[in-house]
Amino acid sequence: MKLTEQPMNQMIQRLALVFVGIFAVSCVAVAVYQVVWVMPAKRCLEHNGWWDPFGRVCATPIFLPDLTHRPIGAPKLTPLSR
């Protein structure tokens, strides 16, 4: 019987293929993570946006006095102060 015909040698080859397969799937998973989550977040932060990791949305910050049309530092109006 030759060394290449023994059943243990086939088991080692299968095990090597399993580890190569696991390594390949892990590499693809890391690449997808980088492309789908990390790169858009970096791009958003470079443009001074707000990155929402849950919705994966890049939002533009809005200056509050632009929204309320009040001058900067003006007190907040309450129903009692009117």
Spans of all domains in the chain: 3-81
User: With a threshold of 0.75, does the pTM exceed it?
Assistant: no
Residue at 60: amino acid letter = T
**How high is the pLDDT of residue 81?**
58
Average model confidence (pLDDT) for the chain? 85
Rg, Å, the chain Cα set: 29
What percentage of residues in the chain have a pLDDT greater than 90?
44
CB atoms within 10 A of CB 49: 15
- Given a cut of 90, whether residue 66 has pLDDT beyond it is no
User: CB-side exposure of 30: number of CA atoms within 13 Å?
Assistant: 6
Rounded to an integer, what distance in angstroms lies between the CA atom of residue 16 and that of residue 3?
18
Determine the pLDDT at residue 58: 92
